[in-house]
Amino acid sequence: MFLESSETTYYKTPLGIAKITGNEDGISSIAVIDTEIEIPKVIPICLQECVQQLDEYFNKTRTEFSVKLNPKGTEFQQKVWKELTTIPFGKTRSYLEQSKKMGDVKAIRAVASANGKNPIWIVIPCHRVIGSDGSLTGYAGGIWRKKWLLEHENPSPQQSLF
């Protein structure tokens, strides 16, 4: 069996350190870690575009990502994650709405579970999915990060989501 090799780098964000993993086939994971580590000076070539796009996102000059993705997951999870990428910057969708978009209202728990297993933080924007009542529910990186990201994307007080 052939194992794909992958590269890793770290990027400092306003929400903590992002650990980015991927190779020429695309980004396989972006996870926020709560450990302070030294950020490498040299970024592997296959991860440079991802770091640049995250930097632009946090500096409010990017609203859509175009970096190549290669997340690992089941066929269903892949479909859910692909659907997440259709939620526009600054907008939210409820878990129920996402289930409807997936074609099965009864799959709401499965959709929520797949959202929770999203391996690519921010770029696959699971932070844009909220409860039907507008509540900030379930976020692997912590609710405070979800709130920060949503406010980062929609800063106008008159349009506040909360």
Active site residues: 126
Scanning 31-141, the segments in alpha helix (DSSP H) are 45-58, 75-84, 95-101, 108-116
Number of other CB atoms surrounding residue 87 within 10 Å:
19
- The alpha carbon of 120 is separated from its chain's Cα centroid by a whole number of angstroms, namely 5
Ramachandran category for residue 18: left, alpha or beta (phi over 0 → left; psi -120 to 50 → alpha)? beta
Taking the C-alpha atoms of residue 126 and residue 154, their distance in angstroms, rounded to an integer, is 15
